[in-house]
Amino acid sequence: MKRTYSGGCHCGAVRYEVEADLSQGTVRCNCSICSKGRAWLAAVSPADFRLAQGEENLSSYQFGAHQIRHLFCKICGVKSFARGGMPDGNQFIAIMVGCLDNVPDAELAQLPIIYVDGRNDNFQSPPAETRHL
């Protein structure tokens, strides 16, 4: 069931609200940026996301196929969400689960995780090793 979450960066300059059902699965990826940033993601539709403040404090980074705009706060450097598009044209927002406010540790521990092999552009299958993700 969808629930309203608030979230944002470390310093509070970037804030958002999102409607998400985290029980439907979260994502850990082994691509270079997700591995280095220890990303834990949840994808939502743009209609379920509202940037409350901080557009002017966001900077963007893209690499590879440039399908995802990795957005981070210019002040504290934290990436709290990203905007992306699939090859079929569908858009999504990738929320950083660790940037959501007031989610109890016990709830986080119960969330299902889907592992994807972004390192090899194979987002339909998990990588051979996932324990480090």
Q: What is the mean pLDDT of the chain?
A: 93
Element (H, E) at 72: strand 68-73
Decide if 55 is inside a domain. yes
Q: Collapse the DSSP code of 22 into the 3-class scheme (helix H, G, I; strand E, B; otherwise coil) and give the result.
A: helix
How many independent structural domains does the chain possess?
Answer: 1
Decide if 72 is inside a domain. yes
Model pTM above 0.85: yes
What per-residue confidence (pLDDT) applies to 29?
Answer: 93
Decide if 130 is inside a domain. no
Share of the chain above pLDDT 90, in %: 77
Residue 115, both tokens: 């592992």
Decide if 133 is inside a domain. no
Decide if 37 is inside a domain. yes
Task: Domain of residue 114: give its range.
Answer: 3-120
What per-residue confidence (pLDDT) applies to 97?
Answer: 97
Distance in angstroms (rounded) separating the CA atoms of residues 66 and 122? 16
Decide if 129 is inside a domain. no
Q: pLDDT tens for residues 13-69?
A: 999 999 999 999 999 999 999 999 999 999 999 999 999 999 999 999 998 878 889
What per-residue confidence (pLDDT) applies to 110?
Answer: 96
Q: pLDDT tens for residues 58-109?
A: 999 998 878 889 999 999 999 999 999 877 889 999 999 999 999 999 999 9
Decide if 128 is inside a domain. no
Q: What is the CATH number of the domain that holds 14?
A: 2.170.150.70
